[in-house]
C-alpha cells in the first residue's frame, strides 16, 4: 500500500500565528483515494530544516507533499531545499518567466524583480501551474518516490492538488480502496462506548474504528480498506450495522450531523413545534437550533429569562416557587418548560436552569448543576445533571443534553 | 536560548478529521515566555512512531511537549511510549487511582475498568493534575531535557499548561525576554488596518506586529524581544500607544477580550441594563452575552422571536407593521428594540432582524441583509448591514456588529 507524508513549511505555522489547516486537508484528500498519511513534519523557513524534514518524510513514505515556502521573498526556501534534496541545480524556465510577466502585465503592473526566482525549478522536475497566483508547484520523481511542493495559500494549494497532483496519484499502482462511514453518539462517555464495542476498537483491525469526542458528542469513524471499492464499502456497511446494533439509542446520526439537526429534521417531518426557555444556557440552545437552516419551520418562540424578574414577568413562574426551591431547581425547570409550551402553543418545550459558573455554586448546588425539563402532551420529563469543565463546556453540554432528551422522546 | 519541539499524537489529527490547533496554541504560549518552537511532529497512535518522534523532537530542542494519547482506550499509547523513551516501567499511582474513582463517584457512576490505565505513570516521572478530566499529564526530566505529555482535549491541555507547565518553564535559565501586547479591533477590514498602520507591519521588524482576523474581529499582537524584560516591555508599550493612537475607536480591547466582555464590563460599571430581541441571530447574541461570567448583573431579559407570531404576541409588534415593511426591515428592528427595552425596563435594548440564509433572500432583500437597532434614552439608532459568507458567519457578524454599536454608544 502506498503511504504519504506531509511537510508544512513556514515560520507563521511554527510560531502559532497560522493554524495549519493544509495538512489536515491534504490528509483527508489522500485518504479518500486510499493513500494514508503516516506523518506530518512542520519546519521553519530554513533550508537545512526543510531538507532534513524531506529526508525523514521520504524515509517514511512513498509520496511526500510539502506546502509553503514558494513565495518570492528571501525567506521562501522550498525551491532551494528541493534542489538540494534532489542533488540538482535550480534552472530558469523561460516559459514560466513569460507567464509570470503576463500575470503582472494583465494587472497593469510591472513584475517586481523578486518574483523572478519563482521561475526557477530544480533540473529534471516538473513545474505545476498555479491558476490563482504566481508560485508554480514542483513535482519530482526520485528512487520510486514522488515529491511535490505546493503553495501554502490554501486556495492555491487546493487548486493545484485537484488539477495536477490527484490525477497523478490516481495513476499509481498499489493503492487500496477505502470506504468511510461515520456515526455520532450522545449519552455515554468515551470509555463506556469503548467497553460496549470491545474488540472492534482494537488497533490494526480492518475496518479501523476511530473514536473522538467533542462536547459530549462521540464520533466513530469506520474506515475499511480493501482491494476494491465494492469490498471496502461492504465491509464498512457491515461494521456500521453491527455498531448501530450494539450502541442502540446512543447513536443519533451519521457523518457530520448535529443533535440540533436530527431533532430539527424530525420535528419538521412530524410537523411539530418546539419552544424553549433558557436560564443558565442564556441563548446557547436557541443558537444551536437556529444554526440549522429552515429552523423557523419548527422553532419560533424562545425566552432567555436570565434573571428571576424575567422568569416571573415573561413566563409567569410564581415568585414563591422561586423563593421555596431556588431558581436552580427541578421545580423551576419544569415550570419554565410548561410555561414556554403553553405561551407558544407548541408541541414540545424545553426549560433549562443551572449554575454555569465559575462562581455561584455551593455545597448543595455546585457549579455545573443543571436541571433540564422537556414538556409535551405526555407530561414533563426532568433530568438533574452535573457537568464538569468550564463555563463554556457546562453551557454547551446542558444545551446538547436537552436536545438529546428531546431526541429520545421523539424516538429518533 | 532554550528551544522547544511539539509532538502531536493521534490518528484523528493525522487523518485530517481534526485540525491540530493545540500545536499552534502551545507555540504561541511558549513564544510569549521567550521559548521559540523549532519543529512540530505529528504521529499516529502507534508506540513506535511516538517514540521515534520523541527522539527527533528531543534532538532538536531542550523542551518537548507532546499532546494526545492519554485517554483510557487501547489506542491511547502516550504513557507506554514515554516509558519506553525514558527506559523505565509504568507504575500505578494509588493517589491518582483514588482521585479518578472519586471523580466517577461524584457523578454517581462506577469507574469503567478501562480508566484504571490512566493512573499509571512512568517511574520517576511526575503526574500533572487534570482539573477537567481523568487523564493526568506526565512531566519527566532526562539528560537536561524536559519532556511533557498533555491531554489532546484543548480545554484540558490549556488548563494543565497554565497551571503545571508554564510555571516550570518560567524558571528555566537562558530565555530571551519577550513582551507581548495584544489589541483587538472591530469596524474595519484587515487591509484597511494594514493601510492605516503602514510600515510597522513589516516582517522582521522588532517589535513584530502580527495581524489575524476572525469573524470581523482583528487581533493585533505586538511582540517585542530584548535582552531584558524591562526593555522588551518598554518597546511593546511604546508600540501599543502608537497603534492605539492610529486606530482610534477601532480598538475595543486588549488581550483576549471579547466585544461582549468590554460591553458587559461597561454596563456593570455604569450600573445599566440591557435587553435583547433577536430574530435572525436566534439566540446567538444572548449566547455571546451570557458566555461572560456575571452577565446577570446587566442582562436579564432576552427574546428569541424567530417567527412573526412570537414578535406579535411577545413583543407586541403590530401585525400591520410586519405586513407593510416585512419582518426584515428597519422599522421592525426598531420596534423590537423599543419593545424589549420597555418590557424589561432596561436602559438599553437591541433588536436584530435579517436573512441568515442560505435561502430566503431576494433582489430587494438578499441573504446577508440584517437590520440592527439599539434603543436607549437618547432614541433608537439603526444600522442596515449586508454581510457575506455563510449562515454561521452572517449570524455571528450581526451579533458582533450589534455589540459594537452599543460599545460606541457607551463610548468605550
The answer, for A57 touching chain B at a CB cutoff of 8 Å, is no
CA distance A262 to A132: 39
From chain B, the residues in CB contact with A293 under 8 A are 356-359, 391
Is the Cβ of A386 closer than 8 Å to some Cβ of chain B? yes
In this structure, chain B runs to a length of 412
- Say yes or no to pLDDT of B36 above 70: yes
pLDDT (mean) for B82-87: 96
* Interchain CB distance below 8 Å, B391 and A291: yes
Q: Does B23 touch chain A (CB under 8 A)?
A: yes
Q: How far apart are CA A156 and CA B240, in angstroms?
A: 34
Does the pLDDT of residue A366 top 80, yes or no? yes
In degrees, rounded to 5, the angle at the alpha carbon of residue A186 between the alpha carbons of residues A180 and A189 is 100
Query: What confidence score (pLDDT) does residue B369 get?
Result: 96
Chain A nearest CA to B283, separation (Å): 4
User: A158 pLDDT exceeds 70?
Assistant: yes
State the Rg of chain B over Cα. 26
CB A91 within 8 A of CB A69: no
The predicted model gives A35-50 an average pLDDT of: 94
> How is the beta sheet containing A137-142 ordered, strand by strand?
A126-128, A137-142, A145-150, A63-67, A4-9, A37-43, B37-43, B4-9, B63-67, B145-150, B137-142, B126-128
3-state secondary structure of B193: helix
Flag whether residue B291 sits within 8 Å of chain A, measured between CB atoms.
yes
Mutation pick from B6, B9, B10, B16 vs chain A, by most beta carbons of A within 10 Å, is B16
Looking at residue B203, what is its pLDDT? 63
Instruction: Quote the pLDDT of residue A176.
Output: 78
Tell me the β-bridge partners of B4: B37, B63
Per-residue pLDDT band at A81 (split at 50, 70, 90): very high
What average pLDDT does range B195-199 have in this prediction? 84
DSSP strand pairing (A251-254 vs A177-185): antiparallel
Stated length of chain A: 412
Comparing alpha-carbon positions, the chain A residue that sits nearest to B299 is: A306
Q: Structural domains in chain B?
A: 4-170 (3.40.980.10), 177-254 (3.30.70.2860), 259-409 (3.90.950.20)
Range with lowest mean pLDDT among A123-127, A306-310, B62-66, B108-112: B108-112
**pLDDT (mean) for B16-23:** 91
- Checking if the pLDDT of B175 tops 80, the result is no
How many angstroms separate the CA atoms of B58 and B64, rounded? 6
CB-based contact A296:B360 (threshold 8 Å): no
Question: What mean pLDDT do residues A139-155 have?
Answer: 92
pLDDT in tens, A324-341: 999 999 999 999 999 999
- Tell me the pLDDT of chain B averaged across its residues: 93
Q: Chain B, 163-182: which have a CB under 8 Å from a chain A CB? A: none
Least confident of A252-256, B44-48, B84-88, B100-104: B100-104
Q: Is the pLDDT of residue A107 over 90?
A: no
Contacts of B43 (CB under 8 A, 6+ apart): A39, B7, B8, B9, B14, B49, B50, B52, B53
Q: Is the pLDDT of residue B213 over 80?
A: no
Residue A214's closest CA among A407, A27, A397, A22? A397
Cβ within 8 Å, pair B74-A25: no
**Spatial CA neighbour of B305 closest among B343, B370, B351:** B351
Q: Residue B130: closest CA among chain A residues belongs to which residue?
A: A389
State the average pLDDT for chain A: 93
Q: What pLDDT sits at residue A203?
A: 65
Q: Distance (Å, rounded) from C-alpha A236 to C-alpha B172? A: 51
Given a cut of 80, is residue A395 above it in pLDDT?
A: yes
The pLDDT of A66-83, averaged and rounded, is 90
**pLDDT greater than 80 at residue B389:** no
CB contact, 8 Å: B314 with chain A? yes
If one counts every other C-beta atom within 10 angstroms of the C-beta of residue B358, the result is 12
Q: B277-296: per-residue pLDDT in tens?
A: 999 999 999 999 999 999 99
Instruction: Sort B241 into a burial class: Cβ within 10 Å, 0-12 / 13-18 / 19+.
Output: exposed
Give the mean pLDDT of B211-232. 86
Residue A399 predicted with pLDDT over 90 = yes
pLDDT at B211 over 90: no
- The residue with cell 474488540 is A199
User: For residue B184, what are the contacts with CB-CB under 8 A and spacing of at least 6?
Assistant: B217, B218, B219, B220, B251, B252, B253, B254, B255, B257
CB A17 within 8 A of CB B212: yes
A113-129 pLDDT tens trace: 878 889 999 999 999 99
The residue behind cell 504519504 is A4
Say how far apart CA B156 and CA B129 lie, in whole Å. Answer: 10
Q: Among residues A86, A187, A197, A207, which one has the least CA distance to residue A139?
A: A86
Q: State how far the alpha carbon of A110 is from the alpha carbons of A70, A107, B191, B195, in Å.
A: 20, 9, 22, 21
Chain A to chain B Cβ contacts (< 8 Å): 289
If you average pLDDT over residues A353-361, what whole number do you get?
94
Q: Decide if A353 touches B, using CB distance below 8 A.
A: no
Give counts: helices (H), strands (E), chain A: 15, 17
* Whether residue B153 has pLDDT greater than 70: yes
Option in B41, B295, B357 nearest A41 (CB): B41
Confidence of residue A133 (pLDDT cuts 50, 70, 90): confident
Mean pLDDT (whole number) for A39-64: 95
Q: Which tops the pLDDT comparison, B340 or A134? A: B340
Q: What confidence score (pLDDT) does residue B378 get?
A: 94
- Cβ neighbours around B47 below 10 Å, total: 18
Instruction: Please state the φ and ψ torsions of residue A198, each to the nearest 5 degrees.
Output: 60, -130
Nearest to A210 among B11, B304, B310 (CB): B11
The residues in B 86-145 lying below 8 A from A, measured between CB atoms, are 106-107, 112-115, 132-133
Read off the pLDDT of each residue in A306-319 and give the average, rounded to a whole number: 96
Q: pTM value?
A: 0.78
Average the pLDDT over each of B328-337, B347-356, B390-399 and give the range with the smallest value. B390-399
Residue A135: its pLDDT value, please? 85
Predicted-complex ipTM score = 0.77
> What average pLDDT does this structure show over A168-196?
88
List of residues 6+ apart from A78 with CB closer than 8 A: A9, A50, A66, A68, A69, A70, A138, A149
Q: Which residues contact A24 (CB under 8 A, 6 or more apart)?
A: B13, B16, B17, B18, B19, B20
**How do residues A195-233 score in pLDDT, each as one tens digit?**
899 888 876 789 988 887 888 899 998 989 888 889 999
CA–CA distance, A173 with A34 (Å, rounded to integer): 11
Amino acid at each position: 500500500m502506498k503511504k504519504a507524508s506531509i511537510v508544512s513549511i513556514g515560520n507563521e505555522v511554527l510560531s502559532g500565528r497560522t493554524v495549519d489547516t493544509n495538512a489536515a486537508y491534504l490528509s483527508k484528500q489522500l485518504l479518500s483515494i486510499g493513500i494514508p498519511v503516516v506523518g506530518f513534519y512542520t519546519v521553519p523557513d530554513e533550508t537545512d530544516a526543510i531538507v532534513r524534514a524531506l529526508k525523514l518524510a521520504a524515509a517514511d513514505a512513498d509520496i511526500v507533499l510539502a506546502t509553503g515556502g514558494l513565495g518570492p521573498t528571501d525567506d521562501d526556501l522550498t525551491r532551494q531545499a528541493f534542489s538540494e534534496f534532489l542533488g540538482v541545480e535550480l534552472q530558469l524556465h523561460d516559459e514560466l518567466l513569460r507567464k509570470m510577466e503576463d500575470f503582472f502585465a494583465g494587472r497593469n503592473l510591472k513584475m517586481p524583480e523578486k518574483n523572478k526566482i519563482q521561475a526557477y525549478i530544480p533540473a529534471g522536475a516538473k513545474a505545476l501551474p498555479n491558476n490563482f497566483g504566481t508560485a508554480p508547484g514542483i513535482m519530482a520523481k526520485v528512487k520510486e518516490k514522488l515529491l511535490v511542493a505546493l503553495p501554502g495559500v490554501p486556495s492555491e494549494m487546493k487548486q493545484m492538488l485537484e488539477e495536477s497532483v490527484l490525477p497523478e496519484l490516481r495513476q499509481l499502482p498499489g493503492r487500496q480502496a477505502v470506504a468511510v462511514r461515520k456515526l455520532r453518539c450522545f449519552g455515554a462517555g468515551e470509555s463506556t462506548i469503548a467497553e460496549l464495542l470491545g474488540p472492534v476498537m482494537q488497533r490494526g483491525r480492518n475496518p479501523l474504528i476511530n473514536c473522538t469526542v467533542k462536547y459530549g458528542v462521540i464520533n466513530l469513524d469506520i474506515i475499511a480498506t480493501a482491494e476494491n471499492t465494492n469490498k471496502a464499502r461492504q465491509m464498512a456497511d457491515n461494521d456500521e450495522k453491527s455498531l448501530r446494533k450494539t450502541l442502540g439509542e446512543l447513536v443519533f446520526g451519521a457523518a457530520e450531523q448535529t443533535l440540533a439537526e436530527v431533532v430539527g429534521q424530525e420535528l419538521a417531518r412530524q410537523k411539530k413545534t418546539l419552544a424553549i426557555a433558557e436560564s443558565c444556557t442564556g441563548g446557547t440552545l436557541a443558537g444551536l437550533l437556529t444554526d440549522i437552516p429552515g429552523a423557523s419551520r419548527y422553532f419560533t418562540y424562545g425566552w432567555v429569562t436570565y434573571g428571576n424578574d424575567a422568569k416571573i414577568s415573561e413566563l409567569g413562574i410564581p415568585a414563591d416557587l422561586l423563593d421555596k426551591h431556588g431558581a436552580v431547581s427541578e421545580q423551576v425547570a419544569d415550570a419554565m418548560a410548561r410555561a414556554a409550551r403553553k405561551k407558544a402553543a407548541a408541541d414540545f418545550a424545553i426549560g433549562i436552569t443551572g449554575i454555569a459558573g465559575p462562581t455561584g455554586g455551593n455545597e448543595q448546588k455546585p457549579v455545573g448543576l443543571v436541571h433540564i425539563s422537556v414538556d409535551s402532551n405526555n407530561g414533563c420529563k426532568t433530568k438533574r445533571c452535573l457537568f464538569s469543565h468550564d463555563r463554556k463546556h457546562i453551557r454547551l453540554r446542558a444545551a446538547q443534553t436537552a436536545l438529546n432528551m428531546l431526541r429520545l422522546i421523539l424516538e429518533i
